[in-house]
Each structure stands twice: as C-alpha cells, then as structure tokens.
C-alpha cells in the first residue's frame, strides 16, 4: 500500500479524544474539521510549568536515497506511547514549494505518519498564508511610504525587505517594482515564505506580545542618513500581528497510532533555522513526559541551529538526540550511485560511515547524549546494518535497527527505551557552540571549522562590511543562521562523505533583527528555490471522488 492508501485506511480518533490523551479539554480546541484543531493561547497560558524531557531527532546529510527523519520522529513518538510513556510529537508544517517541486510531502511515511496527511501538506489551517500576507503587508507599507513623499527618508537602494510566496518560482528571485508610475522604480525580489524573517519570528516568539515586539525590531532598510529603518517606524507591527493572531495557536493532529502531534511553523533548515514553533514545543513540554521534535536536514544545519538559535533564545535544554541514518544513504556517501543501492556493499558502508560519525561527534560537542536510528529498508542486509552498528559501538553509541515504516511504533521500541534511559539519565550537559560575545565573523568561522571541518571561511568584501555595520549598530551578540546546501559539509552539494580542509565561501549576510540572528549565505544557495525539470505538480490531481492523487 502507498502512504496515502495507508493513511486513508486508518481509523482516526476525533481531535477532542486526541487532546484528552494529554489533558486538553474540548473547550481548549478550535476545530478545523473532525481531525485537526488549534489549541487556544488562553488555555496554554493557564498551563503549569514544563515537565517533559525534550528529545531531538536529526540526521546525516541527506541524499537522493532518503533518510526518513520525519518518519523516524513519528515512529519514535508512537514507540514511546507503546511502552507506556506520555509522548507528544512536534513537527514543522510542510511548505507547498517542495510538495509541488521535487521533495514531495513531509508527514512521515508507511505506518509512521501524522494525519490527515493530504491536508497537512496543503493548506492545513492557513498558517503559511497568514505569514505570507503579513510579510507582504510590510513590503507594501514600505513602498507606500516612498510613494507618499517618503517622510521617513528611506533610501530606495537600501531596502532589504523582500516579498515572499510559498512556492518555488525562480523567475521572482530578481524583479523590478514601481513601473508605470506606481512608485519609485527599484530592484526587488521574492524569497520563499519559509525563508522569511516573519516565519522565523513566528517560530521563535513566546507570545503575541513578544511577536509584536519582534516585528517592531525588524530592520527593513537604511535611510539617507545611514540609519536603520525598522518596521516600528513604518507602523506595521500592529496590522501584521493581527494577521498572525490565529496562526500563532499551535495545530494539533495525530499519528496513525493516535499519538498527539503539534505541527506548527515551518522554516527550512538550509536557508532558515529549521525548527517548529517555540510555542508548540513549550506547550508540548507542559503536557507530555517526553517530547520528540525534529530539526531539518542534517545535524550540520538543523541540529546546530536548534542548539545555537532556538535553545539559546528560549532556554530549552534537550535531554537526548537521535541521529537518523539509512544503509542506502551511507552507501551513497561511500561513493555508490543511486542505481546500485540495492546491491550489498559493506565497503561503501564503511566509507560512508565517516559522515555519520562526524555528526555524532558534532552533536556531542553540545553536551547532548546521542543514539543512532537505522531507518530500515527492505533491501538492507544484515552485514550492512551490522557494519553500522559496529562502527557506532566503537565510538560508544548504540545504533538501533528501526522498522517503524513497516511496523509503526512497534518497530522502534528498542530505540524508545534507550531514549528514555538517556533522557532520564541526567547526563545532558547542554551548551551552545559559541558565546554571545564572540564577533559575528568569528561565530561564522567557529561553525565552519567545528561543525563543517572547514579550514577557514572566505567572506565577500560586502559581507564583511555588513557584519561590521551590524556590530556597530548593536547586533554583535546575535547568533548566526548558516544558509548552506544541505547535501554536504561544504558549500558544494556533490561533496559527499566527510570532507575536511575546504574554504567555506560566504557571499552575503542578512540581518534578521526581529528573529534575533544574522543569516550567512554560503555558496550558490538561493532563498527562492526553483522547480525541477519534472516537478511533482505534473502528477497531482483530484479524482472523480474528490480525493487527491499524486501528492506522495
């Protein structure tokens, strides 16, 4: 059966019954149909202190062979429920860009899914539309200021705020606005919604009040006096917060085994900070004993940002981490082509293990205990999985063979038991990678050297100048959000394995003052992706019964 067929055959619980599993009364839920709801912020404010243990699921560098990080997150949550623990899952909302582009949906797979998966992957509860609208309202207000005499003295050539949409469209990367007498003609461009600072603020804000304060701090331009122009000066925060009010309430859904799951917020981890909303995570920690969350792509991106940005800003302290790997992906990191992955190749596994071992070492640098989940494929052989287990054993880490895709939570119970042991063992000594008072350039170098094993970074002259300006403007204590290809420890997507000694090129930097970080754009990575030659959109349709086909 396909993922969608499995999801449609499942018997779902009413969302009120799912909420009751973690103590949410019906009056705390705003229903969006029978199987999804938002949780009232008023109710969340009345909850007690956080009591749960936070577990991060991350992965090796992704390959076309697939890793299954979301599937493993769901499987682990279900497995914790099966062994008698009160578990809650926290995931990001999928972007429409990958759904209609190349990657496809992001709701897990097989018997480890969050549902209703078609609704989650499409419009869901409208959060992304609200974020898009709020972002573009700010853009419209900036241009409106200039059109009506420019009372703020905004320098049109120094406007840094870009419009967004939640779809891959490379033609919008660089555009010209203001033609036809509709304002100051200038160059502009679009990013994808998940790269927007509004998305980052949405996911890092602790409350509606904090949301508005952060929006006020957004730096949108420089004026002719070379001073920063903020969203507060454009008088945008009140209206933007109004658009985001309902979206800020976390979304509650369920897995196929009825484990409660918050799916809320969705920044990409290669161009943004890659974590679900802080409000959802903190709510889950107040309601569950174990909260399983994921950070996007490999641990060099999502996990590093989870630790250095989300945890730094919020005070969260993860109790354990799980690194997901597959036999197939490790063989690709060991030099095997995609067409040969079904053939047993222990030598390629041993070569590709360099990637997994580096991620293990990196996560340990943050003081978090770690284990490995081998996400099982039917073509895997015992010799191959044994090779992974043995290499992990040599560095003091257990590698668990997990069959949650085929068996649901039952296939990940061994992993769940070790996660409980790690989380309850009081061995986590979490700490960020670098201190706040390090210079911005040195923070970039520290990530490049310690996490990517680069020899150094190459800062473009304009990027270096901007970093100096940010520090002069009082933003020097902010953490760094690296925007880099997810496929490699380098800025080159085809450099698999665990390369060392490379130079990381930083072509530009962007200030996200409201979100509370500085983005470093590395290599050729784009903040507005393009569609592939054969986009998934070609295969998606609605059948005669109104059912969606081709989404997965």
Catalytic residue ranges:
69, 71, 92, 103, 269, 297, 377, 405
Burial 300-316 (b: 16+ CB within 10 A, else e): bbbbbbbbbbbbbbeeb
Give exposure, 54-74, as e/b (b: 16+ Cβ within 10 Å): bbbbbbbbbbebebbbbbbbb
Residue 184 has, within 13 A of its CA and on its CB side, a CA count of 20
Asked if 497 contacts 334 with a C-beta cutoff of 8 angstroms, the reply is yes
Q: How far apart, in Å, are the Cα atoms of 489 and each of 68, 356, 512, 518?
A: 19, 12, 24, 20
Residue 451: strand pairing partners: none
HSE-CB of 222 using CA atoms within 13 angstroms: 11
Angstrom distances, CA of residue 439 to CA of 366, 401, 443, 463, 469: 20, 42, 6, 14, 12
- Beta strand residue intervals within 314-394, DSSP E: 320-325, 370-375
Q: Torsion angle, CA of 244/247/248/253, rounded to 10 degrees?
A: -170
Dihedral sign for Cα atoms in the order 115, 121, 123, 127: positive
DSSP letters, 149-160, are: T-TT-B-GGG--
What is the rounded CA–CA span in Å between residue 154 and residue 547? Answer: 50
Q: CA 408, CA 423: separation in Å to the nearest integer?
A: 22
DSSP class per residue in 458-485: EE-HHHHHHHHHHHHTT-TT--EEEE--
Q: Which two tokens stand for residue 24?
A: 């949410």
C-alpha closest to that of 202 among 214, 184, 220: 214
Contact status, residue 433 vs residue 446, Cβ threshold 8 Å: yes
Instruction: Give the containing element (helix H, strand E) for 440.
Output: helix 440-450
Evaluate whether 343 touches 296 at the Cβ level (below 8 Å): no
520: which strand partners? 482, 509
- Specify which residues 188 forms β-bridges with: 175
Give yes or no for a contact between 36 and 125, defined as CB atoms under 8 angstroms apart: yes
The closest alpha carbon to 107, from 23, 247, 250, 6, belongs to 6
- Asked whether the CA dihedral 174, 178, 184, 185 is positive or negative, the reply is positive
Question: With contact defined as beta carbons under 8 Å apart, do 24 and 253 qualify?
Answer: no
Contact 415, 55 (CB under 8 A): no
């Amino acid at each position: 059966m396909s993922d969608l067929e499995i999801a449609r055959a499942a018997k779902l619980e009413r969302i009120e019954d799912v909420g009751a599993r973690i103590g949410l009364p019906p009056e705390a839920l705003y229903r969006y149909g029978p199987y999804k709801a938002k949780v009232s912020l008023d109710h969340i404010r009345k909850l007690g202190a956080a009591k749960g243990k936070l577990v991060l699921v991350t992965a090796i560098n992704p390959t076309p062979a697939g890793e299954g990080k979301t599937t493993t997150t769901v499987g682990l949550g279900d497995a914790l429920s099966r062994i008698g623990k009160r578990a809650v899952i926290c995931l990001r909302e999928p972007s429409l860009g990958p759904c209609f582009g190349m990657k496809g949906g992001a709701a897990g797979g097989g018997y480890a899914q969050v549902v209703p998966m078609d609704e989650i992957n499409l419009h869901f509860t409208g959060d992304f539309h609200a974020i898009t609208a709020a972002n573009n309202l700010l853009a419209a207000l900036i241009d409106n200021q200039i059109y009506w005499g420019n009372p703020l003295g905004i320098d049109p050539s120094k406007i840094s705020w870009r419009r967004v949409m939640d779809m891959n469209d490379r033609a919008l990367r660089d555009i010209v606005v203001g033609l036809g007498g509709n304002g100051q003609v200038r160059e502009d461009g679009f990013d994808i919604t998940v790269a927007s600072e509004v998305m980052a603020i949405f996911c890092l804000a602790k409350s509606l009040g904090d949301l508005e304060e952060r929006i006020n701090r957004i730096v949108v331009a420089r004026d002719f006096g070379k001073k920063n122009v903020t969203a507060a000066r454009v008088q945008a925060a009140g209206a933007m917060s109004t658009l985001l009010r309902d979206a800020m309430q976390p979304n509650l859904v369920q897995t196929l085994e009825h484990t409660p799951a918050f799916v809320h917020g969705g920044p990409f981890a290669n161009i943004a900070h890659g974590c679900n909303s802080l409000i959802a995570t903190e709510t889950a920690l107040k309601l569950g004993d174990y909260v399983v969350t994921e950070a996007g792509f490999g641990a060099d991106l999502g996990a590093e940002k989870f630790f250095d940005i989300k945890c730094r800003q919020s005070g969260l302290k993860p109790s354990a981490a799980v690194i997901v790997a597959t036999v197939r992906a490790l063989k690709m990191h060991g030099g095997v082509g995609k067409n040969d992955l079904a053939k047993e190749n222990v030598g390629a596994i041993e070569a590709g293990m360099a990637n997994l071992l580096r991620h293990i070492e990196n996560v340990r640098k943050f003081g978090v205990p770690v284990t490995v989940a081998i996400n099982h494929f039917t073509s895997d052989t015992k010799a191959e999985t044994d090779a992974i287990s043995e290499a992990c054993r040599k560095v003091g880490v257990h590698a668990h063979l997990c069959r949650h895709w085929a068996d649901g939570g039952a296939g990940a119970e061994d992993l769940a038991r070790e996660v409980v042991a790690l989380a309850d063992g009081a061995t986590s000594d979490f700490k960020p990678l670098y201190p706040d008072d390090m210079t911005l350039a040195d923070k970039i170098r520290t990530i490049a050297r310690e996490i990517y094993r680069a020899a150094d970074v190459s800062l473009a002259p304009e990027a270096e100048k901007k970093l100096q300006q940010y520090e002069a403007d009082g933003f020097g204590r902010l953490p760094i959000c690296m925007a880099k290809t997810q496929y490699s420890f380098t800025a080159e997507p085809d450099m698999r394995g665990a390369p060392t000694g490379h130079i990381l090129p930083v072509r530009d930097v962007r200030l996200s003052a409201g979100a509370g970080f500085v983005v470093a754009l590395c290599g050729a990575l784009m903040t507005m992706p393009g569609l592939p030659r054969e986009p998934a959109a070609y295969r998606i349709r609605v059948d005669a019964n109104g059912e969606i086909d081709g989404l997965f």
